[in-house]
Amino acid sequence: MSQQYLNEKNFAVVTGEADIAAQFSALDWDKLVFTGGSETGKKVLSAAAPNLTPVVLELGGKNPAVVLPDANKQMTAAKIARSRSGNSGQICLDTDYVLLPTDQLDEYVRLITAQLAQAFPTYINNSEYSAIINDRSYDRILGMLTEARQRGTRLITINPNNELVPDVKRRLIPLTLAINPDRDLQIARNEIFGPILSIFTYDSLDEAIAFINSHEKPLAMYLFGRSSRHLNQIISQTSSGGVDINELSLHAGSHSMGFGGVGYSGMGRYKGGKTGFETFSNQKSVYKQGVLAKYTTRLMVPIHNKRNEKLLKRMLGL
């Protein structure tokens, strides 16, 4: 179908598994763009290195949402709950974990649970709720939950209709809140990329910032609150690919700002107007000499005398 409209030399789609991707990454491209997980991104970068192929990586990471004490609770809970349940949490920009003031934990748990019960009163045969992409991912997510449960983590499964989920046949896993999981658990260390939302509590903003900085740099960070001083403190003392204030993910759709990660969450920018154009362009400089050509040639010849030296320094601005 694509050949009917586009020349295959300009645009082509190649499908395949990891072996095809490995061969593709090792080809001598002018530029290579990869979107996916951080560990796979390392392999892509390694495959491109022998050809010195420049690589743009848009990866993921543990994207935090920091909720300040003065945040609008109803709005914040609605945005976080509905965003995390979209595509069952299988979006690289999703909130991976939330940092909440300790004394507001119970209220936010109640609000998030209510929001999800309203959005997804049922999971079975619900076309609005996404299945996990494949069996491997399904088993990985269940493994995270099993490990957390065995370690005594407080898990809140949001299942308002008391259905028989998780459902292995349909690969359905309801959104589960994990409250203050131990730091060495998979859900606390690794990107979840699934319907689990870890919630950690903090007693001071410095504590929350230190927690964020104890992880690899995320693709996105979401801040909810009104205090400009506190918002600016978090932004200035942490590093992330992008930041949304009182919103989720919209910075990635901006046509005026470049979107991408930093460190473990990626490198380079290829979305966003001028930024995207420059990413796929080579700034090749071309200089054409005019009437001074015969004079500059004489100056470049290694005849060392004071007159030539003086002229050359003048031309070079020395």
Specify whether the CB–CB gap between 217 and 262 falls below 8 A: yes
- Decide if 216 is catalytic: no
Tokens of 208: 């929350």
- What are the residues facing 276 on neighbouring strands? none
Closest CA to 176 of 203, 145, 200, 152: 145
Beta-carbon-side half-sphere exposure of residue 65 (alpha carbons within 13 Å): 27
Q: In 3D, which of 87, 84, 262 has the Cα closest to residue 176? A: 84
Active site residue 92: yes
Give me 262's structure tokens. Answer: 């930093």
In the numeric block, which tokens belong to residue 39?
């560990």
Q: Which of 8, 17, 39, 58 is catalytic?
A: 58
Find the catalytic residue in 92, 128, 191, 247: 92
Helix H, strand E, coil C: the string for the chain is CHHHHCCCCCCCCCCCCHHHHHHHHCCCCCCEEEECCHHHHHHHHHHHHHHCCCEEEECCCCCEEEECCCCCHHHHHHHHHHHHHHHHHCCCCCCCEEEEEHHHHHHHHHHHHHHHHHHCCCCCCCCCCCCCCCHHHHHHHHHHHHHHHHCCCEEEECCCCCCCCCECCCCECCCEEEECCCCCCHHHHCCCCCCEEEEEEECCHHHHHHHHHCCCCCCCEEEECCCHHHHHHHHHHCCCCCEEECCCCHHHHCCCCCECCCHHHEECCCECHHHHHHHCCCCCCCCCCCCCHHHHHHHHCCCCCHHHHHHHHHHHCC
Question: Catalytic residues, which ones?
Answer: 58, 92
